[in-house]
Structure 1
Amino acid sequence: MREQGERVSGVPDVLYGRAVVTPLPDEDAERAFHENMMRVADAQERKAKMLADPDVTLLEAYERQLEGIEKSYRSRMRSVAGEDYEAAAIAYARGDRDDAAAAISAYYLDALWRMQQRFTVSEMLFFPIILRYPDCFTVNVRFASGYRTAESVLYESPEHLTEKLEPEHAETYAEESLYTQKEAAKLIGAKADVIREEFPDPGEVPFEERKTGGIVSGGGRQETVFSSMLERVEPDTDRFDETPTEPTLVPSGPEAARTARELLPEGTFVI
């Protein structure tokens, strides 16, 4: 994993108001998308199991989750820009390239950099939206100020406590924190079914029942308090007049603004 603080793309506003759209021209493309989303669902369940395990720290659970996200993002960059995707992102940042492959590489690399900062920066919410339309899907990576949404479950992390407690209080706090993590794990694990329902197997579900779907997730922290959420999002079927034939960056759709308005506190800054 790249060291925290090393920003490859160097484009501070590459994420702002933008999403990556990828066409789904046939069932093979649909299946690849479905399989990737099933990996996301599996990762959701793994995170829940680690969160409920008293022998696994919260930091370790989040590191494993980030590794999975990084693997997915880097796979997407390779698919559009090849093995030299980092060079493409740097060229985009310098203004030497303005093609879709370079822009998408810069987009995902900047998203990864921001996600790494979540471990050290309080009050930053990771808020991605994934939407399936009849002939394409979009990935809208968003970050927001604050640490929770209206639907977030909260839990405590003793390893992020900076205050030194007396031994008896430290033990009580650790036990109470573990309880909040176990309770949160139940809800987080159950949300894996939302992902599976929104992005079903194209070989098992008729097109009319699988042609649209969407999820938004959110994760952040405020000092020792962590938050997590995952909810359905209804795609706007009139989103695209004409779907791009290749992956490209497009403006964020109306679903992104509506979802932020419904779930985030008033006055939240979103990129």
Structure 2
Amino acid sequence: MTDWSDRVESGSEILRQRAVRIPLPDVDAERSFHQNMMRIAAAGDRKSKLLDDPDVPLTEVYEDELDEMRQSFEHRLQQVAGENYYDVATAYLDGERDDWIGALAAYYLECYYRLQERYTVDEQIFFLLILRYPESFTVNLSFLTGDFGSEGVRYESSTHVGGDLNEHDREQVHADCQYSQHKAAEYLREHVDCIREAVPDPDTTPFEQRRYGGFVHITGRQGPTFEEILESLSPDPDRFDDEPSTPGLVAEGPEAKRAKRELLTDAEVVI
């Protein structure tokens, strides 16, 4: 990790406040996009059920989510750059190649390592924004510092609550945390369909009804307290005026800036 961090820090700001843009040239590409989003929605359903299970510690729910996300990024890296994705990404950062494969490998690899750090670094906020446009979709990933606003849901883990508590207080803390996790599970059940609505099935939905869509998912942890936002977000129809031929990195759009400003406070981008 140190070698990768040194490479990123010594390079330019190419990964900062950027998004991946992927073309959607045909229905097959749309089907693949739809299937990937349905997997994300299914992961949200799974998280909701785990949060509602009193026999599953919140630490296990958190680790399960992070492990699934890391596996997803590793899969994307292998799809984009093959088994030698690390060499491809570092070559791009070192200026030895300048192509979309190297750019995406560097972007995804940085996110992969940042997710690994989240087991021990708990003050970072993970920001995911996926937007559908007529000819493409964008994936905006950011790691930020700051605080959540009034939106979303907050829940706590009794495992992380410190202090010298007597038995009665421990039982009360555990009950309070269980209740907060139940409310979080309820929140996810009510909001996870925004993912499905953002990317409907291209085989059953007319093109005019699936040209635009999007959602934002923000998660963070401060000690024993976890926070989460999952909601729909509309793309800016004037953002792009071209039809991309290959994937690539683009500047984050006005939608991402607006979401960070409205949903978070004092947010600063780490990457």
User: TM-score, normalised to structure 2's length?
Assistant: 0.92
Give the structure 2 partner of residue 83 of structure 1: 83
How many Å apart are 1:50 and its aligned residue?
Answer: 0.6
Contact kept? 1:219, 1:229, Cα under 8 Å: yes
Give the structure 1 partner of residue 268 of structure 2: 269
How many Å apart are 1:6 and its aligned residue?
Answer: 6.0
Contact kept? 1:130, 1:138, Cα under 8 Å: yes
Distance 2:224 2:14 in 1: 30
Q: CA RMSD in A?
A: 1.8
Alignment of 1:212 onto 2:212: yes
In the alignment of these two chains, the number of paired residues is: 266
- Taking a change above 3 Å as real, the CA distance of residues 161 and 15 of structure 1, as seen in their structure-2 partners, is farther
Amino acid at match of 1:107: Y
For 1:95, what is the secondary structure of its paired residue? Answer: coil
How many Å apart are 1:53 and its aligned residue?
Answer: 0.9
Pairs within 5 Å for 1:1-271: 8=4, 10-12=7-9, 13-265=13-265, 267-270=266-269, 271=271
Distance 1:38 1:22 in 2: 17
For 1:182, what is the secondary structure of its paired residue? Answer: helix
Amino acid at match of 2:93: A
- Taking a change above 3 Å as real, the CA distance of residues 149 and 99 of structure 1, as seen in their structure-2 partners, is farther
Q: Which structure shows the bigger proportion of residues in strand conformation?
A: 2
Distance 1:57 1:74 in 2: 26
- Taking a change above 3 Å as real, the CA distance of residues 215 and 46 of structure 1, as seen in their structure-2 partners, is same
Contact kept? 1:132, 1:213, Cα under 8 Å: yes
- Taking a change above 3 Å as real, the CA distance of residues 179 and 75 of structure 1, as seen in their structure-2 partners, is same
- Taking a change above 3 Å as real, the CA distance of residues 82 and 208 of structure 1, as seen in their structure-2 partners, is same
Distance 2:32 2:166 in 1: 53
Amino acid at match of 1:162: G
For 1:211, what is the secondary structure of its paired residue? Answer: coil
Structure 2: which 5+ residue stretches go unaligned? none
Contact kept? 2:125, 2:219, Cα under 8 Å: yes
Contact kept? 1:218, 1:228, Cα under 8 Å: yes
Amino acid at match of 2:138: T
For 1:141, what is the secondary structure of its paired residue? Answer: strand
For 1:204, what is the secondary structure of its paired residue? Answer: coil
Distance 2:125 2:90 in 1: 26
Structure 1: which 5+ residue stretches go unaligned? none
> Cα deviation per residue 1:146-201 (whole Å; 9 max; x = unaligned)?
24243120001112223232222112111110111011111112222111111100
- Taking a change above 3 Å as real, the CA distance of residues 226 and 191 of structure 1, as seen in their structure-2 partners, is same
Distance 1:6 1:160 in 2: 28
Percent identity, please.
47
> Cα deviation per residue 1:38-90 (whole Å; 9 max; x = unaligned)?
00000001011111111111121122112222232222222221222122112
For 2:267, what is the secondary structure of its paired residue? Answer: coil
Distance 1:113 1:164 in 2: 35
Distance 2:145 2:242 in 1: 33
> Cα deviation per residue 1:203-259 (whole Å; 9 max; x = unaligned)?
000000011101111100111110011111111112112232111111111111111
Amino acid at match of 1:223: G
> Cα deviation per residue 1:90-122 (whole Å; 9 max; x = unaligned)?
222333223221121111111122223233223
How many Å apart are 1:7 and its aligned residue?
Answer: 6.7
User: TM-score, normalised to structure 1's length?
Assistant: 0.92
Contact kept? 2:30, 2:202, Cα under 8 Å: yes
